[in-house]
Structures are given as structure tokens and as C-alpha cells.
Structure 1
Amino acid sequence: MEQFTVARRPLYEVKANLFKGLAHPVRVRVLEVLSVHPGISVTELMADTGMEASHLSQHLAVLRRHNLVVAERRASQVFYSLAYPQVADLLIVSRALLAEILETTQRHLASTVTS
């Protein structure tokens, strides 16, 4: 039923919902780690992010709910991977966009100082 509802929503709303999944620095960091180390355990993610298990678990749940990561249980551990390789591409594009925005802002500031 939920997927039927999503399918009937305008694409811009669905996109906005995807970005809600990205709207926290910890979740972005987790996605960056997973883009470099696919299939990493929760224990390793905790060490990399410096987060406690309960807080990390909440962020991973949000990422799962927004279909950005997938979990796989192996014995007593859970391992996470990006749900789609395009998530890594999205991170690369956002980094390039932010670098360009920063460069443009610095140029504008420099030009106002020298004027």
C-alpha cells in the first residue's frame, strides 16, 4: 500500500523525501564510509563515526527507511552497504557542487574587499 501511495505522489515530493534521508551529517558520513567500504559491520561504523550503538542505529534506520542502505545479518553481526551505487555518485556530485559554491563565494568576497 505504501509503494502505491509513493507512486502517486509527484516526483518532486519523492525527491524531497529522499533528501530528508540525507539531512543529517552523521547519515552523510555513514554513506561516505559505505561508499568506500561496502559491507562494513555496525561495529566498524561505530568506530569510524565515533557514535554510540543506539544513536548510530537510529540513523541507520532512517537510511534504510529511505532506501539508501541495505542490511545483511551474518551470524551475530549486521553489515551495511549502499542500496544503490548511485548513492556514491550523488555524494561525489554534491562534493563537487559544494566546492564550486565555496569557490564562487570566495571570489565574490575577494572582489568586494578589493573594490
Structure 2
Amino acid sequence: MPVPLYQAKAEFFRMLGHPVRIRVLELLQDGPLPVRELLAAIEVEPSALSQQLAVLRRSGIVTSSRDGTTVVYELAGGDVAQLMLAARRILTEVLSERTGLLETLHEGEGAAS
């Protein structure tokens, strides 16, 4: 029996649910990068980065290629970059609404004093 689409989407978002994986995807939006540059930008242990890259590779969201001894990663498709941009827009909107609410609450505290 095929997996329902909503379940496949939930598994996809769970796969994205790690800060190192998100950071890798953000960095790869501008094009392919070798592992050493990812390591320098993310500042995690090499084994931790390797583990997270393996998750992204198995999911098919990134691909890797070898150039001599250098392993280079890139996004598997442009839709991933669009997803990262959409997430940024959504978070910006949500946070600006919360900031507005906080400002309103603080203004109310001043009036109550």
C-alpha cells in the first residue's frame, strides 16, 4: 500500500528538522561547496557534519561528487532553494507579528502603571 502524501511530507519535514542540515541547505543555495568549506562555515565536528550530509544525501535532497580527494556537495534541485526562501519569508512574517504583539503588550504595561 502506498504511503499517503501527508505522511511522506511529514517524513520530509522531519528529515529537515536538524539545524546542521538546514545550515547546509542554506549554504548550498549559492552553489556547490566542498566539505572543507561547509566545515569552516558551520563549525561542527567533521563526524557530525558527515552524518548530517549522509542524511541529506540519502533523502535525495543533495548530491555529492568527487574532485580528486575533495568531495563537493550541491542541492539536487532548485526547489530546495525556493523552500529555504519560503521558510525565511514565513518566519519573518510570524516573527514580525509577534514583535507587534509584544510592543502592544509593553505599551499596555506602561498605561497600567
Structure 1 length normalisation: TM-score?
A: 0.87
Aligned to 1:60: 53
CA RMSD of aligned residues (A): 1.3
Shift of 1:114: 2.3
Shift of 1:15: 0.7
Q: Distance in 2 between matches of 1:64 and 1:57?
A: 10
Equivalent pair of 1:42/1:77 in contact (CA under 8 Å): yes
Q: Distance in 1 between matches of 2:51 and 2:63?
A: 14
64-73 vs 88-97, which moves further = 64-73
Shift of 1:93: 0.6
Kindly indicate whether residue 40 of structure 2 is the aligned counterpart of residue 50 of structure 1: no
Aligned to 1:11: 5
Report the number of matched residues. Answer: 108
Aligned to 1:83: 76
Aligned to 1:20: 14
Equivalent pair of 1:17/1:66 in contact (CA under 8 Å): no
Q: 1:101 aligns with which of 51, 76, 94?
A: 94
Structure 2 length normalisation: TM-score?
A: 0.89
Structure 1 vs Structure 2: percent identity of aligned residues? Answer: 42
Q: Deviations over 1:46-72 (max 9, x none)?
A: 111112211100000111122210011
Question: Which structure has the greater CA radius of gyration?
Answer: 2
Q: What amino acid sits opposite 1:22 in the alignment? A: L
Mapping 1:66-77, distance limit 5 Å: 66-77=59-70
Aligned to 2:111: none
Runs of 4+ in 1 over 4 A off after TM superposition: none
Shift of 1:105: 0.6
Equivalent pair of 1:32/1:88 in contact (CA under 8 Å): yes
